[in-house]
Amino acid sequence: GENVEQHPSTLSVQEGDSAVIKCTYSDSASNYFPWYKQELGKRPQLIIDIRSNVGEKKDQRIAVTLNKTAKHFSLHITETQPEDSAVYFCAFSDSGGYNKLIFGAGTRLAVHP
Amino acid sequence: SAVISQKPSRDICQRGTSLTIQCQVDSQVTMMFWYRQQPGQSLTLIATANQGSEATYESGFVIDKFPISRPNLTFSTLTVSNMSPEDSSIYLCSVVGGGTDTQYFGPGTRLTVL
């Protein structure tokens, strides 16, 4: 069935370091790959997304790369700050956001001052 | 983006009872979804709430347990029926609208079943 594997499950970095989270999906029809950040007790917030016709997208310190051949996509956070500490979820869909999102298991990122 | 509210924000319920959760949006939206997030876990789609017709349920979720209504383009309810402790989770609605296909999430309803 549809699923996405997300690694690592936990990630601890020092402030200023980079963090990389990788997801591998199963459905070749997938065309939309959002990343959500969820702080403790809060709702998931979209931080960046990418579509299958693009290989990379960047927004300030955050970037996402997509390798359709290998069916994986990655989140890159540079110059990490303590406020980046949260759980990050990757997801995918075959119809943009108009269809169900299949979520990864999440990565708990801790950024230490 | 649309402003999404959910009621109640949290509740503690007794086994065997039912709870109805409301999701209200401040503007008309195209799609509304209901997700479940069990403690410390990821998000799983329960169903797509269809305006004016029966919801579309995902595998493992049934209408008798999770009846859903969507009477218009700004409002939906999810009922958790005949609750057991295993239903203790955060229930989140998400919406798509406003000319984009981004899913935005409501603040969630934290349910504890004793």
Question: Which residues are CB-neighbours of A28 under 8 A, at least 6 positions away?
Answer: A71
Inter-chain touch B103–A32, beta carbons under 8 Å: no
Which residues does chain A have within 8 Å of residue B58's beta carbon, measured at their own beta carbons? 100
Per residue in A25-76, pLDDT tens? Answer: 988 889 999 999 999 999 999 999 999 888 999 999 999 999 999 999 999 9
Nearest to B106 among A34, A43, A104 (CB): A43
* pLDDT confidence tier of residue B23, bands split at 50, 70 and 90: very high
Which residues does chain A have within 8 Å of residue B103's beta carbon, measured at their own beta carbons? 34, 46, 97, 101
Residue B101: is its pLDDT beyond 80?
yes
Inter-chain touch B102–A97, beta carbons under 8 Å: yes
Residue B21: is its pLDDT beyond 70?
yes
Confidence at residue B92, expressed as pLDDT on a 0 to 100 scale: 98
pLDDT over 90, % of chain B: 92
Looking at the complex, does the CB of residue A45 fall below 8 Å from at least one CB of chain B?
A: yes
Residue B52: is its pLDDT beyond 90?
no
Inter-chain touch A34–B101, beta carbons under 8 Å: no
Question: Does residue A23 contact residue A5 with C-beta atoms inside 8 Å?
Answer: yes
Question: Does residue A48 contact residue A35 with C-beta atoms inside 8 Å?
Answer: yes
Inter-chain touch A43–B92, beta carbons under 8 Å: yes
Question: Does residue A88 contact residue A36 with C-beta atoms inside 8 Å?
Answer: yes
